[in-house]
Amino acid sequence: MLNFLKGFLYAFNGLVIFFRHERNGRIQMVIAIVVVIVSWWLNISAPEWMVVLGCIGTVLSLEMINSAIEKICNLVHPTYHPAIKTIKDMSASAVLFVSIISTIIGAIIFLPKIHAF
């Protein structure tokens, strides 16, 4: 049980570090908070909540992974290297891709509700 609690504290510490030191993480968290407020205001259904929260969790999680990959790359090769650039670009593109898909999903959920006003 103690190891489980330690693991939880390490993970929570990772969240604190991420949101304290990663600008994109803070930006995406603000966007997530706005989306949650708009979702509440529009009174979306339970299945829509699940999709919206899934999108938020996926975008934030991928951004955390992207940040970790960038830190590892900088540690392994602190100066420019074409392979490191490719790795960083590919991990950033994963965040971009899921963000675009999440935006499309948000439009599908929110636009009809906004249009109804």
Q: SS3 of 62, please?
A: helix
Number of domains observed in the structure of the chain: 1
Closest CA to 57 of 21, 105, 8: 105
What is the rounded CA–CA span in Å between residue 109 and residue 93?
24
Cβ atoms of 37 and 82 within 8 Å: the answer is no
For residue 80, what are the domain limits?
2-115
The predicted pLDDT at position 115 comes to: 87
For each successive 10 residues of the chain (117 residues), what is the average pLDDT?
92 96 96 98 97 98 98 96 97 98 98 87
CATH code (residue 95): 1.10.287.3610
The predicted pLDDT at position 20 comes to: 96
Q: Copy the structure tokens of residue 107.
A: 């439009």
The predicted pLDDT at position 116 comes to: 79
Residue 35 neighbours by CB under 8 Å, 6+ apart: 52, 56, 106
Residue 80 neighbours by CB under 8 Å, 6+ apart: none
- Prediction pTM value: 0.92
The predicted pLDDT at position 1 comes to: 85
The predicted pLDDT at position 63 comes to: 97
